[in-house]
Amino acid sequence: MNVEPSVRVEDKLYYNRYLVDVGHPHVTVREHTTPSPQLLALLKVCPARCYELNDNGQVEITVDGCIECGTCRVIAEPTGDIKWSHPRGGYGVLFKFG
Amino acid sequence: MIEERFDAIVVGAGMAGNAAALTMAKRGLKVLQLERGEYPGSKNVQGAIFYADMMEKLIPEFREEAPLERHLVEQRFWMMDDRSHVGMHYRSDDFNEERPNRYTIIRAQFDKWFSSKVREAGATVLCETTVTELVRDDHERIVGVRTDRRDGEIHADVVVLAEGVNGLLGTRAGLRSRPTPDKVALAVKEMHFLPRETIEARFNLKGDEGVVIEAAGTISRGMTGMGFIYANKECISLGIGCLVADFQRTGQTPYGMLDHFKQHPSVAPLIAGSEVKEYAAHLIPEGGYKAIPQLYGEGWVVVGDAAQLNNAIHREGSNLAMTSGRIAAEAIAQVKSRREPMSTKNLSLYKKMLDESFVIKDLKKYKDMPTLMHTHSQNFFLTYPQLISKALQNFVRVDGTPKVEKEKATLKSFVKARSWTGLFGDACRFARAWR
Ligand SMILES: Cc1cc2nc3c(=O)[nH]c(=O)nc-3n(C[C@H](O)[C@H](O)[C@H](O)COP(=O)(O)OP(=O)(O)OC[C@H]3O[C@@H](n4cnc5c(N)ncnc54)[C@H](O)[C@@H]3O)c2cc1C
Ligand code: SF4
């Protein structure tokens, strides 16, 4: 039951249009040595899989594919693990259908 | 700072913001509307079932020009387990009426059109502008907004917060708390394109007739969640959502659940051969009546999803957004016409009018439902769907077992799974929350 069908999120994001604000990430992760349970949850719950573990076991974010749902903010902003804002006006995901 | 002063600033050009801006502009107020997307709709996600009645109150002739997809003649509810679904379908030719009651729409396209009407009514609409902060005066009154444009401070008598479910500005200004994981659902959605004739054949439709399917059961893997499949003209919207708290607890991935749903034997044939053109995600307010924050204050009101006005049981949100936006705008116009200040006391008129509308009355009716669904999600979304599927299979399969024994076996499986007190308790709890 828990076996995931092999889903490649990158393929899904490829359908979308983005205007990436290079050098201005709208979500950032606080520096840490060991990730909190909240940060670890983001590895799975982010629908665009923006969060990844690096080689040192820390959680990193790449916002380019972010679909701006706000889920990570709900989970990990209260603990101070992340800082979350909207992208600057006009940047980010551009839904054609929505 | 932009020197020009406005009667009202509306943050957001979704359903709530557009309804508010349109209504105020029509009453002659000087309105500025700010939207962070490239165009209105470029950030917005909906299923999307659209309710005509609430739109008629804003733009009576909308059917002639709005980008509508299909008018709904059929609604299907599916209770699913892993290999089957139990369905209830309601279809009526009565829905092929001159002024249909419900349509499917595509939000990005619809919002763009809606916004053109707001401009026509005389409001100034500025896109590609993110509001970063609310501005207060020495008396803690909200007097305007700050944006990410240069010289981005703008002043107005009242700010209408129509910023959607995340409510970032409201939280930053301390007007409301941040949504919590147990009060919002995360939904993921794809747009599947197919030739028009294929969609009509698969869903048994002719012309612009439409059908929507709401699905619950083991597809959400014991979490509080729902799936949907909506027929548009040349595409199918398909998605699934669950409470964020449940995702967090179970470690399930939203895209994994979406693909699981797509592969279900009842779903796969409907989308076979389609071309996917978009993948989107969005939060939905699920806390119901008890999650509604303070709705007004010194120089501000909050409307739509930003006020958590969403009826999760009936899957209604856009209509509550439109209605709350319109009502807030009417209240503001009344205060303005009396030449009185946009104070907490005067703006309480908005809350008073909203309390009398279907928006608050419906949310009040289901006030206990969100908690019930959440605390008993295993039973309602996993155990019962499996039991009911088994019961029906037992009923229809002809295998020489005497009917009396079949019925006994069905009853036994229910009692075994939930016990008599459990079954009785679930029934009572459900009835009480529905009442
Ligand atoms: C998958 C899904 C399916 C749904 N299905 C249905 C359905 O079938 N029927 C239904 O009635 N409802 C449905 N809903 C709910 C419905 O979409 C919402 O209730 C509705 O969109 C709320 O409208 P709104 O105007 O309050 O918010 P939104 O439509 O979210 O609009 C908010 C706007 O504010 C802008 N904004 C936000 N912050 C800022 C800022 N700081 N500066 C500038 N602009 C900003 C955003 O870009 C956006 O345009 C669904 C929701 C989802 C996610
Ligand atoms: S906002 Fe949504 S898509 Fe973007 S990083 Fe957070 S969880 Fe992922």
Domain of B396, in residue numbers: 370-434
Residue B80 lies in a domain: no
Q: Is A31 exposed, middle or buried (0-12, 13-18, 19+ CB in 10 A)?
A: exposed
The pLDDT of residue A5 is above 80: no
Q: What pLDDT is attached to residue B314?
A: 84
- Report the number of distinct structural domains present in chain B: 3
Q: What pLDDT is attached to residue B20?
A: 98
The pLDDT of residue A3 is above 60: no
Q: What is the pLDDT of residues A62-75, one digit of tens each?
A: 999 999 999 999 99
Q: What pLDDT is attached to residue B299?
A: 98
Classified as helix, coil or strand, B95 is helix
Q: Is B396 exposed, middle or buried (0-12, 13-18, 19+ CB in 10 A)?
A: exposed
**H-assigned helices in B9-86:** 15-26, 52-56, 62-65
Question: What is the end-to-end Cα distance of chain B in Å, rounded?
Answer: 53
In whole numbers, what is the pLDDT of chain A averaged over residues? 93
Are residues B336 and B422 located together in one domain of the fold? no
Q: What pLDDT is attached to residue B234?
A: 98
> Rounded to the nearest whole angstrom, what is the distance from the C-alpha of residue B184 to the centroid of ligand 1?
13
Beta pairing, strands A82-84 & A27-29: antiparallel
Are residues B153 and B14 located together in one domain of the fold? yes
Q: What pLDDT is attached to residue B404?
A: 87
Q: What pLDDT is attached to residue B1?
A: 61
Classified as helix, coil or strand, B241 is strand
CB B353 within 8 A of CB B330: yes
SS3 sequence, chain A?
Answer: CCCCCCCCHHHHHCCCEEECCCCCCCEEECCCCCCCHHHHHHHHHCCCCCEEECCCCCEEECHHHCCCCCHHHHHHCCCCCEEECCCCCCCEEECCCC
Residue B26 lies in a domain: yes
Q: Which of B250, B285, B320 represents a domain boundary (last residue)?
A: B285
Q: What pLDDT is attached to residue A52?
A: 96
CB B249 within 8 A of CB B188: no
Q: How confident is the model at residue A4 (pLDDT cuts 50, 70, 90)?
A: low
Residue B97 lies in a domain: no
* Cα–Cα distance measured from residue B202 to residue A2, given in angstroms and rounded to the nearest whole number: 31
User: For chain B, what is the radius of gyration of the CA atoms?
Assistant: 23
Q: How far apart, in Å, are the Cα atoms of B415 and each of B377, B392, B397, B410?
A: 18, 16, 22, 9
Are residues B402 and B429 located together in one domain of the fold? yes
Chain A residue numbers with beta carbons less than 8 Å from the beta carbon of B48 are 98
Of A69, A86, A91, A93, best ligand 1 pocket probe by most atoms within 8 Å of the beta carbon = A86
| CA–CA min distance A3, chain B (Å) | 9
Chain B residue numbers with beta carbons less than 8 Å from the beta carbon of A7 are 253, 255-256, 258-259
Residue B88 lies in a domain: no
Are residues B271 and B295 located together in one domain of the fold? no
Classified as helix, coil or strand, B12 is coil
Residue B207 lies in a domain: yes
| CA–CA min distance A30, chain B (Å) | 19
Beta partners for residue B311, in sequence order? B316
Q: Which of B317, B351, B366 represents a domain boundary (last residue)?
A: B366
The residues near B249 (Cβ < 8 Å, ≥ 6 apart) are none
Are residues B198 and B227 located together in one domain of the fold? yes
Q: What pLDDT is attached to residue B377?
A: 79
Residue A58 Cβ contacting ligand 2 at under 6 Å: no
Are residues B163 and B294 located together in one domain of the fold? yes
Query: Which of A12, A74, A94 is the closest to B244 by Cβ?
Result: A74
Q: Which of B230, B265, B285 represents a domain boundary (last residue)?
A: B285
Q: How many CA atoms lie within 13 A of B22 on its CB side?
A: 27
Classified as helix, coil or strand, B332 is helix
Residue nearest to atom 4 of ligand 2 (CA): A66
What is the interface size between A and B, counted as CB pairs within 8 Å?
144
Are residues B54 and B121 located together in one domain of the fold? yes
Are residues B250 and B380 located together in one domain of the fold? no
**Domains (range + CATH), chain A:** 9-93 (3.30.70.20)
Residue B412 lies in a domain: yes
Q: For residue B121, count other CB atoms closer than 10 A to its CB.
A: 18
> Rounded to the nearest whole angstrom, what is the distance from the C-alpha of residue B281 to the centroid of ligand 2?
9
Are residues B135 and B264 located together in one domain of the fold? no
The pLDDT of residue A1 is above 60: no
Chain A residue numbers with beta carbons less than 8 Å from the beta carbon of B36 are 86-87, 89-90
Are residues B152 and B19 located together in one domain of the fold? yes
Residue B69 lies in a domain: no
Are residues B157 and B23 located together in one domain of the fold? yes
Per-residue pLDDT of chain B (435 residues; tens, 9 = 90+): 667 899 999 999 999 999 999 999 999 999 999 999 999 999 999 999 999 999 999 999 999 999 999 999 999 999 998 999 988 999 999 999 999 999 999 999 999 999 999 999 999 999 999 999 999 999 999 999 999 998 779 999 999 999 999 999 999 999 999 999 999 999 999 999 999 999 999 999 999 999 999 999 888 888 888 999 999 999 999 999 999 999 999 999 999 999 999 999 999 999 999 999 999 999 999 999 999 999 999 999 999 999 999 998 888 999 999 999 999 999 999 999 999 999 999 999 999 999 999 999 999 998 988 887 777 777 778 888 888 888 888 888 888 888 888 888 888 888 888 888 787 778 777 777 777
User: What CATH number is associated with residue B347?
Assistant: 3.50.50.60
* Cα–Cα distance measured from residue B168 to residue B181, given in angstroms and rounded to the nearest whole number: 15
Task: Mutation target for B interface from A45, A46, A75: give the one with most B CBs within 10 A.
Answer: A45
Does A74 lie at the interface with B, CB-CB under 8 angstroms? yes
ipTM for the complex shown: 0.94
CB B89 within 8 A of CB B75: yes
Does B109 lie at the interface with A, CB-CB under 8 angstroms? yes
Q: What pLDDT is attached to residue B162?
A: 98
Q: How confident is the model at residue A2 (pLDDT cuts 50, 70, 90)?
A: very low
Nearest alpha carbon to residue B248 among A71, A86, A94:
A71
The pLDDT of residue A6 is above 80: no
Classified as helix, coil or strand, B230 is strand
Residue B136 lies in a domain: yes
| CA–CA min distance B94, chain A (Å) | 29
Ligand nearest to the CA of B168: 1
User: What CATH number is associated with residue B205?
Assistant: 3.30.9.90
Does A87 lie at the interface with B, CB-CB under 8 angstroms? yes
Are residues B241 and B357 located together in one domain of the fold? no
